Amino acid sequence: ERAFVIFMTVLVTNGLYKIIYFRFIHKEMLDFVAYVNDNFWYKVYKGRNAEIIKEALRKCDFCILYIAIMCNVTLAMYIITPIL
């Protein structure tokens, strides 16, 4: 779990936030992601950059979010990283 937190922090600080911030997302998906943030992400990461990660997730692709929740967060990172 600590390794995942470090990995996410590195990704966010290295420009992942800037990449997915400008991605278009529908309002319905935005509402769903906001719900997920309150119930899922807060439990995964409660550190100093939690708000940045939350904001990045709000702009994220819905498919990536689905993979992260339904499968495994670590597995999703392995899938997302080569794409970025």
Asked whether 41 and 54 are in contact (CB, 8 A), the reply is yes
Could you tell me the sign of the dihedral formed by the alpha carbons of 73, 74, 75, 80, in that order?
positive
Give the pLDDT of residue 8.
65
Looking at residue 24, what is its pLDDT? 42
In order along its 84 residues, the chain shows pLDDT tens digits of 677 776 666 665 555 444 444 444 444 445 555 555 555 554 544 444 455 555 556 665 555 555 555 545 555 565 555 555
Domain ranges of the chain: 2-83
**Which among 77, 60, 84 has a CA at the least distance from the CA of 4?**
77
